[in-house]
């Protein structure tokens, strides 16, 4: 086994500090892999030592739980009147009636307020972070499948969607830039990484269509970059960026298909 294989196995190991006998044999003879393994182990030990500010809420939480428990365990005081058989039947009936009346009045007030309120309020602009979190969620669900093949297919679909959505964001340069950056990550980073994980015999079948779609994405984005060059230079620059990312992605995939 060569050093790359050994290092990948260590990265995938549950306990890199306790490698298999085969890896240990290699490590015994290879100083550079030994150093590499030491770095990995050191890094993991350091993570556990990274500082975390102390939490002060635990005691309060436990105290509150205790108090709540006491309150719930307190014996319920039984009113002597409950031992009498229906002594205040009429009074209870009147109380029920007043509750019903109050409820009906509240409903009427609510209905009037609802009727007078504008029914199609403009939704507030979503914050950049909120939108980013939603994008990350989509990426996460694309990555959360079992095989590299499935991941490639899902990532390509996500790239298509992001590309399509970006085309609709002309004029909103800030949001468009956010989409473009995300697109660059999906295509330039994750899609290519996953494509490398494909079995060689699967590459042609899976990647050919995706490469073609990236080619189309490139020409669409390049066309828009030209179209908006004067009316919206900032959007045009972003479309140019998307075109470049698509072009590079397409070339990388084709290189991979051709071995």
- Contact residues for another protein (CB under 8 A)? 8, 11-12, 14, 35, 39-40, 42-53, 55-58, 61-62, 65-66, 68-69, 127, 129-130, 132-134, 136-137, 139-140, 143-147, 193
Are the beta carbons of 183 and 166 closer than 8 angstroms?
yes
- Least separation, in Å, of the C-beta of 192 and another protein? 13
- Least separation, in Å, of the C-beta of 205 and another protein? 21
- Least separation, in Å, of the C-beta of 35 and another protein? 8
**Closest listed residue to residue 225, CA positions, set 245, 246, 240:** 240
**Closest listed residue to residue 144, CA positions, set 123, 165, 158:** 158
Q: Is 192 exposed, middle or buried (0-12, 13-18, 19+ CB in 10 A)?
A: middle
Question: 41 vs 169, which CB is nearer to another protein?
Answer: 41
Give dist(CA 152, CA 147) in Å, integer.
9
Question: 35 vs 208, which CB is nearer to another protein?
Answer: 35
Are the beta carbons of 10 and 27 closer than 8 angstroms?
no
**Closest listed residue to residue 152, CA positions, set 178, 104, 112, 189:** 189
Question: 14 vs 201, which CB is nearer to another protein?
Answer: 14
- Least separation, in Å, of the C-beta of 197 and another protein? 8
Question: 22 vs 193, which CB is nearer to another protein?
Answer: 193
- Least separation, in Å, of the C-beta of 143 and another protein? 7
- Least separation, in Å, of the C-beta of 213 and another protein? 24
Are the beta carbons of 250 and 214 closer than 8 angstroms?
yes
Three-state secondary structure call for residue 126 = coil
Q: Buried (b) or exposed (e) across 66-81, using 16+ Cβ within 10 A?
A: eeeeeeeeeeeeeeee
Question: 139 vs 221, which CB is nearer to another protein?
Answer: 139
Q: Which residue carries 């002597």 as its tokens?
A: 80
- Least separation, in Å, of the C-beta of 52 and another protein? 5
Question: 98 vs 137, which CB is nearer to another protein?
Answer: 137
Give dist(CA 181, CA 40) in Å, integer.
30
Helices 31-49, 3-12: crossing angle, 10 deg rounding: 20
Question: 51 vs 259, which CB is nearer to another protein?
Answer: 51
């Amino acid at each position: 086994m060569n050093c790359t294989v050994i290092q990948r196995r260590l990265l995938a190991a549950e306990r890199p500090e306790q490698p298999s006998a085969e890896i240990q044999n290699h490590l015994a003879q290879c100083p550079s892999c030994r150093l590499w393994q030491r770095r990995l182990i050191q890094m993991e030990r350091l993570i556990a030592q990274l500082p975390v500010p102390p939490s002060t809420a635990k005691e309060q939480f436990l105290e509150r739980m205790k108090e709540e428990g006491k309150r719930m365990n307190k014996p319920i005081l039984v009113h002597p009147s409950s031992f009498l058989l229906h002594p205040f039947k009429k009074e209870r009936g009147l109380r029920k009636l007043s509750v019903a009346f109050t409820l009906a009045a509240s409903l009427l007030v609510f209905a009037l307020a609802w009727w007078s309120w504008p029914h199609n309020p403009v939704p507030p602009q979503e914050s950049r972070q909120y939108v980013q979190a939603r994008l990350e969620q989509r990426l996460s669900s694309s990555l959360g499948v079992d095989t590299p093949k499935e991941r490639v297919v899902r990532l390509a679909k996500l790239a298509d969607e992001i590309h399509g959505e970006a085309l609709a964001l002309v004029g909103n340069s800030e949001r468009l830039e956010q989409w473009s950056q995300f697109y660059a990550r999906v295509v330039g980073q994750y899609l290519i990484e996953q494509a490398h994980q494909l079995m060689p015999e699967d590459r042609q079948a899976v990647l050919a269509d995706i490469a073609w779609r990236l080619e189309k994405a490139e020409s669409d984005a390049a066309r828009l970059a030209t179209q908006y060059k004067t009316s919206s230079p900032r959007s045009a620059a972003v479309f140019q960026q998307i075109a470049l990312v698509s072009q590079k992605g397409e070339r990388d995939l084709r290189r991979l298909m051709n071995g």
